[in-house]
């Protein structure tokens, strides 16, 4: 019974909980049974609170329904403050840090009835120094970063949803590597209060689930948009296929998935046409990196100046590079980003959404790092809503995803079309099974 329950998607579990066909205690116990079975292999968590979670679940079972997330267990990336658990931001500097308040996104989830199971591994301050987490599809490989533990916990059926954040590619890439759905909303659509800042013009709160409707359930709460509870799309979408200017770095499995998706969606009735990034936007990846480095050097000034010896060489390099960029240069970079954003926004006069690679290919080996965010940097820079859709498999038997990008502030249509697109891709590739059943589990 426990094994079956912990594999329930968020929406299915929510319906069972609301109809009282399932108790929150049963679901939380099932999730902890899975965690206890697999955590020594996957290393997704920095802190767990089994008894507190069970106590909270029991209170929920004995009372009225709290909201759309009533009784659903969740993981929280250890970049988000939690009043009842330590928050270390992936750094030894904060080994003893215990915030007094929840981050806004955590508070919104709890207020809607979610049960916080524990904190998930993040890379150091959501940058590049990897943690211990392994990919549940094959433990020799990375789950990606920086939201490593959140992606792995959902992919391994430890929880149906986990909070993540993205400043470069920290939701989309781990979701692609782990074979799950990851959603980065429009920049600013979810409050960032209580989330350790890395780059104030880029940091975005989102999360991971096993289907588009599942992730939309949580987005409806965090974005305070009840329309997301009922995704519906009736037409045939206009889809722009964007290889991006990093196409030369795409591996064969990504190129094949991209071509397969274009053909499948065209057969399903979508209008599909290639759309290139303008030549003047050839430096977007570097532009994003410079903006991120400058803002990180400001956000982490205390850590850089007072605790440099406790920072990894990787983050020291980023902060030192950012410290060399002047405020005047940063203002120019922001203006260039806005010019590029305006050019890309014009695409949505012709297309409803854009489809692009989520990552270069399958996950790399764990000892090689967490992968490269190059295929997400531009979309994060533009502040657009992005959705990883898993549907293909690479030569190592690992997942390959594509990301669907929507118009800024049109997260509902992005998710609704995303659900339609994912349904067509899964039907063509693996009939009658869900995305979470496409790859082996431990």
Banded model confidence at residue 430, pLDDT cuts 50, 70, 90: very low
* Per-residue pLDDT, 440: 55
* Per-residue pLDDT, 2: 44
146 as an active site residue: the answer is: yes
Average pLDDT of the residues of the chain: 96
* Per-residue pLDDT, 279: 76
Banded model confidence at residue 395, pLDDT cuts 50, 70, 90: very high
For residue 65, being part of any structural domain is answered with yes
For residue 235, being part of any structural domain is answered with yes
> Annotated catalytic residue: which of 77, 119, 184, 196?
77
> Annotated catalytic residue: which of 147, 170, 176, 312?
170
For residue 411, being part of any structural domain is answered with yes
Asked if residue 3 has pLDDT above 90, the reply is: no
How large a percentage of the chain has pLDDT more than 90?
94
Compute the distance between CA of residue 346 and CA of residue 175 in angstroms, rounded to an integer. Answer: 28
Give the Cβ contact number of residue 319 at 10 Å. Answer: 24
Banded model confidence at residue 439, pLDDT cuts 50, 70, 90: low
287 CB contacts (<8 Å, ≥6 apart)?
Answer: 333, 336, 337, 340, 381
CATH number at residue 100: 3.90.1300.10
Q: How many CA atoms lie within 13 A of 96 on its CB side?
A: 0
423 as an active site residue: the answer is: no
> Could you report the per-residue pLDDT of 94-104, keeping only the tens digit for each?
999 999 999 99
For residue 274, being part of any structural domain is answered with yes
* Per-residue pLDDT, 277: 84
> Annotated catalytic residue: which of 91, 119, 146, 150?
146
For residue 49, being part of any structural domain is answered with yes
- Domain residues for the domain of 134 are 5-279+335-428
For residue 214, being part of any structural domain is answered with yes
Phi-psi group of 392: left, alpha or beta (phi > 0 → left; psi -120 to 50 → alpha; rest → beta)? beta
* Per-residue pLDDT, 1: 41
Compute the distance between CA of residue 362 and CA of residue 379 in angstroms, rounded to an integer. Answer: 20
Give the chain's domain count: 1
> Could you report the per-residue pLDDT of 197-240, keeping only the tens digit for each?
999 999 999 999 999 999 999 999 999 999 999 999 999 999 99
Compute the distance between CA of residue 403 and CA of residue 405 in angstroms, rounded to an integer. Answer: 6
Compute the distance between CA of residue 302 and CA of residue 13 in angstroms, rounded to an integer. Answer: 43
Give the Cβ contact number of residue 378 at 10 Å. Answer: 25
For residue 422, being part of any structural domain is answered with yes
> Could you report the per-residue pLDDT of 126-175, keeping only the tens digit for each?
999 999 999 999 999 999 999 999 999 999 999 999 999 999 999 999 99
Residue 58 tokens read as 């029991």
- DSSP states along 133-185: ---TT-TTB---SSSHHHHHHHHTTS-SEEEEEESSSTTHHHHHHHTSEEEE-
For residue 372, being part of any structural domain is answered with yes
Compute the distance between CA of residue 209 and CA of residue 344 in angstroms, rounded to an integer. Answer: 28
């Amino acid at each position: 019974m426990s094994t079956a329950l912990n594999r329930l998607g968020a929406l299915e579990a929510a319906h069972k909980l609301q109809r009282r066909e399932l108790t929150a205690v049963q679901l939380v116990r099932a999730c902890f049974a899975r965690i206890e079975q697999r955590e020594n292999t996957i290393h997704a968590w920095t802190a767990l609170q089994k008894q507190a979670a069970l106590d909270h679940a029991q209170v929920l079972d004995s009372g009225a329904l709290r909201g759309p997330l009533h009784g659903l267990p969740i993981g929280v990336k250890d970049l988000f403050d939690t009043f009842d658990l330590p928050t270390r931001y992936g750094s030894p500097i904060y080994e003893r840090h215990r915030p007094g308040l929840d981050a806004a996104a955590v508070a919104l989830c709890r207020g809607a009835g979610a049960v916080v199971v524990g904190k998930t591994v993040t890379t150091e301050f959501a940058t590049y120094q990897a943690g211990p987490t392994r990919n549940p599809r094959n433990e020799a490989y990375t789950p990606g970063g920086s939201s490593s533990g959140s992606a792995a916990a959902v992919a391994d059926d430890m929880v149906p949803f986990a909070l993540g954040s993205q400043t470069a590619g920290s939701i989309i890439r781990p979701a692609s590597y782990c074979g799950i759905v990851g959603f980065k909303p429009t920049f600013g659509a979810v409050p960032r209060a209580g989330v350790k800042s890395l780059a104030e013009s880029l940091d975005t709160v989102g999360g991971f689930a096993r289907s588009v409707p599942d992730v939309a359930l949580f987005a409806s709460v965090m974005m305070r948009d009840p329309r997301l509870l009922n995704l519906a799309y009736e037409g045939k979408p206009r889809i722009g296929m964007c290889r991006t200017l990093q196409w030369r770095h795409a591996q064969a499995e990504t190129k094949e998935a991209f071509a397969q998706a274009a053909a499948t969606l065209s057969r399903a009735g979508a209008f599909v046409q290639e759309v290139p990034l303008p030549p003047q936007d050839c430096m977007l990846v570097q532009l994003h990196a410079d903006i991120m480095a400058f803002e990180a050097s400001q956000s982490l000034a205390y850590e850089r100046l007072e605790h440099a010896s406790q920072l990894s060489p990787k983050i020291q390099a980023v902060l030192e590079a950012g410290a060399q960029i002047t405020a005047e240069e940063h203002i120019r970079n922001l203006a260039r980003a806005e010019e590029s954003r305006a050019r890309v926004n014009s695409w949505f006069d012709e297309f409803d959404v854009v489809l692009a690679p989520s990552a270069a290919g399958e996950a790399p080996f764990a000892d090689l790092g967490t992968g490269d965010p190059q295929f997400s940097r531009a979309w994060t820079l533009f502040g657009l809503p992005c959705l990883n859709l898993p549907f293909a498999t690479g030569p190592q038997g690992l997942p390959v995803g594509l990301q669907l990008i929507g118009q800024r502030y049109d997260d509902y249509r992005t998710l609704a079309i995303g659900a339609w697109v994912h349904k067509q891709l899964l039907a063509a590739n693996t009939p009658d099974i869900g995305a979470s059943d496409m790859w082996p589990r431990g």
